[in-house]
Structure 1
């Protein structure tokens, strides 16, 4: 039986949020995960309209009791949203939530009159949504091979360094053992191993990203926040406030690197991020965001804000190239809303195990063939391993594979193409003595003459000069 990545990932996220019943959506499409029994609306008059309209709809149209329709979070915060309970989270199963579906339906006429969305599911924003792992799980890499991209030769100057804020999970405890990360600071991850001493899934994700940034753009001051420590996931209703908390503590940086997101079935963005995105637009900060790993053209937020006119120069959305840099990686999202593609398959960066080797048990089993239908030797298939979650329903003779991390790792995903692109913007700022990250983004893309092929389209590609392409077998272009 083929691994069921989405269901395995759903279970991981649900375990990290034991008090938040979750469902998959929309219906059986499994494009996102959301909180059951709750919807979001903007504070003030819109929240009151949603509450009243949903209550009326439940009474008149469904015959269900409307007594449960109430504010789930009466207090407000800077994210500017209200959680409204519209049903019993215990009803239904992981595949559906009838109450939320009815609530969304109740607002359609009002939304048509106001010409904007007034209500939303409370989505889970994650570093590994839907197809998991982010593009795969990390593989040990020898320290002697160095990073890929290799560290650029430019030095660090505190007076001119570009400030980059990484919103992710925290740094591993031994990150400072890596000279490349000498100018990285921020939150530690905290608990890194389970009761058996095995590295927990996603630990090292933020450290890996910091290493890529420092390699591509040494003249950076990188700060890593552990906003996404719980299985790499957070509710949309909480993310806006956590982003505000990060910039309140550290100030608005030149660049924010965010390797997380979600689809939402909409072309209007995330209600839970409205207030933060409006404040971001008023600042000079550039948001560089991952396009996601679902091999889909469905807009993935917040990266897809780059396609909205108000955010065209505010957000840079980044897809992933495969190992040779000539084509899109099998897992990478794609479409007109993706601005640029950067290397994102089997990159090499810092993880953990510098002080002492750390064991890791694989969670997901590789596939016999690419699950997205590509013909090259992609990360779906290689290197082969059996994961504990996939083996759970098989005979006891099937055991998960274990490896040891001793510092560096190979890892794949748009999660890692994102800091590569962010680093290239930062390096362009340093090389051209620029203080405006958004202007640097525009000039870098205009000056860039490199392209790759993604789904038959020629798209802009950012390839760092120190990046080494890897041989790719079965080089036929993807269908």
Structure 2
């Protein structure tokens, strides 16, 4: 049985949210996850309009009462979002929620009158996605230097560019990696399971921080563990968590975010509306991952970069394959992706260097690229058998592979192309004494003369000087 990564990740994220029944959407396919039985609306009058529209549409509906509308006070809900129950969350299965679909249809007339969207599914926002990085980490020997390698330059607290990483948190011994000596923030809440095995996604935030520090040594990096549990959070909670993160230490120069979701729309996430509007009034540049679905469907919040009002405040990043000449097989793409950077088989610090730690692979590799590419991509290599894949198989066909991490790892995904670019913007600010990160973004893109080919399009390619291409192995046709 071939691996089913989307379904495998659904199982894992559902286990991390045992009290939140989830479904896959949209209801005729599987592109994102969302909360069953619930829709989102803005607080106040719009929430009332949604309730009334749903009640009118569901003529036989008896479960919706005022008690189902849970409103948070402005002091605790900066996002101004109300969750409205429109059905039984326990009804149906993972393949979709008819009550939620019906509620979305019920509000269409009211939305046409209002001239804007009034209702949304409550999507799961997760580490940049499918619903995971492009692959799982692979141990790298301590003799293998980081890639990108550490750039020349020194840390100076007085001039350091502030970079905030919203992710999974830091490993407890992260300071044993010299490049992270000046990094601050939250620790990963739980690194290992009860058997001492690293949990999936652990080290994701540390790996990202290491990439920023390597590309731009003069950075003050702060990592928040907002996405600690299976790298996932509900849209209704994410906006508040972003406000909390930026206000904890002040709005940073650069916000590096390697998470998001598609939603089948071209106007963003309702749950992030308040945060994104506030971002526009700040000087912060959001550098966001384009996602790992190999799709042209807009992935939020990265796709805000394609909306005119956010063009200078958001930079969306796709991933290049190991040689940096073409797009990685997993990378999302399209006009809403504004630049690409190396994102396949990068090397950074996954764990600290104090002691080796075991990890059991969760996903089995595929026999061929699941996206149809003709090179030896991360779908296929290096080969391993994964625990979640075996759990979903009709019969156990192999024992999950276990490896040991003792510092460095190779890892792939738009998750990691993103901090490379965040570091390049920060490095440009330091080199040119530019204090405006949005101006630095514009200058960096204007000065760039490098391009790559992604799905037949020539796109801006941002390759840091210390990055070393990784040879790509083409697949030979059978004789």
Displacement of 1:67 in angstroms is 3.5
Distance in 1 separating the partners of 2:66 and 2:111? 19
Report matched runs for 1:281-320 at 5 Å: 281-320=280-319
Distance in 2 separating the partners of 1:260 and 1:18? 21
Distance in 2 separating the partners of 1:27 and 1:81? 23
Instruction: Select which of 60, 64, 68 maps to 1:67.
Output: 64
Displacement of 1:453 in angstroms is 0.1
1:32 paired residue number:
32
Q: 2:368, 2:380 within 8 Å by CA — same for their partners in 1?
A: yes
Displacement of 1:48 in angstroms is 1.0
Q: Structure 2, unaligned stretches of length 5 or more?
A: none
Residue 91, structure 1, aligned to residue 88, structure 2: no
Q: Indicate the SS of the match to 2:458.
A: strand
Distance in 2 separating the partners of 1:183 and 1:457? 39
Displacement of 1:396 in angstroms is 4.3
1:42 paired residue number:
42
Displacement of 1:145 in angstroms is 1.1
Residue 332, structure 1, aligned to residue 331, structure 2: yes
Report matched runs for 1:155-174 at 5 Å: 155-174=154-173
User: In terms of mean alpha carbon deviation, does 34-43 or 70-79 score higher?
Assistant: 70-79
Displacement of 1:190 in angstroms is 2.1
Q: Indicate the SS of the match to 1:105.
A: helix
Distance in 2 separating the partners of 1:162 and 1:182? 15
Q: 1:24, 1:95 within 8 Å by CA — same for their partners in 2?
A: yes
Distance in 2 separating the partners of 1:337 and 1:395? 42
Q: Indicate the SS of the match to 2:318.
A: strand
1:213-271: CA deviations, max 9, x gaps?
Answer: 00000000000000000100000000010011111111000000000000001111001
2:448 paired residue number:
448
Displacement of 1:53 in angstroms is 1.1
Q: 1:291, 1:414 within 8 Å by CA — same for their partners in 2?
A: yes
Residue 54, structure 1, aligned to residue 54, structure 2: yes
2:236 paired residue number:
237
Report matched runs for 1:361-440 at 5 Å: 361-392=360-391, 393-396=393-396, 398-440=398-440
Displacement of 1:132 in angstroms is 3.8
1:7-53: CA deviations, max 9, x gaps?
Answer: 10000000000000000000132110000000000111111111111
Displacement of 1:115 in angstroms is 2.0
Displacement of 1:302 in angstroms is 0.2
Q: 1:364, 1:390 within 8 Å by CA — same for their partners in 2?
A: yes
Q: 1:24, 1:33 within 8 Å by CA — same for their partners in 2?
A: yes
User: In terms of mean alpha carbon deviation, does 74-83 or 193-202 score higher?
Assistant: 74-83
Q: Indicate the SS of the match to 1:160.
A: coil
Distance in 2 separating the partners of 1:397 and 1:299? 37
Displacement of 1:293 in angstroms is 0.1
Displacement of 1:68 in angstroms is 4.8
- RMSD (Å) for aligned C-alpha atoms: 1.2
Displacement of 1:133 in angstroms is 3.6
Displacement of 1:191 in angstroms is 1.1
Q: 1:58, 1:66 within 8 Å by CA — same for their partners in 2?
A: no
Q: Indicate the SS of the match to 1:40.
A: strand
Q: 1:69, 1:84 within 8 Å by CA — same for their partners in 2?
A: no
When normalised by structure 1's length, the TM-score is 0.97
1:190 paired residue number:
189
Q: 2:424, 2:464 within 8 Å by CA — same for their partners in 1?
A: yes
Residue 466, structure 1, aligned to residue 466, structure 2: yes
Q: Structure 1, unaligned stretches of length 5 or more?
A: none
1:383-408: CA deviations, max 9, x gaps?
Answer: 00000111123544610000000100
Distance in 2 separating the partners of 1:92 and 1:64? 16
Distance in 2 separating the partners of 1:67 and 1:366? 45
Displacement of 1:157 in angstroms is 1.0
Q: Indicate the SS of the match to 1:261.
A: strand
Distance in 1 separating the partners of 2:184 and 2:98? 45
User: In terms of mean alpha carbon deviation, does 259-268 or 41-50 score higher?
Assistant: 41-50
Q: Indicate the SS of the match to 1:218.
A: coil
1:205 paired residue number:
204
1:144 paired residue number:
143
Distance in 2 separating the partners of 1:29 and 1:445? 36
2:342 paired residue number:
343
Q: What number of residue pairs does the alignment pair up?
A: 472
User: In terms of mean alpha carbon deviation, does 299-308 or 71-80 score higher?
Assistant: 71-80
In the superposition, relative to structure 1, how do residues 117 and 210 fare at CA in structure 2: closer, same or farther (>3 Å)?
same
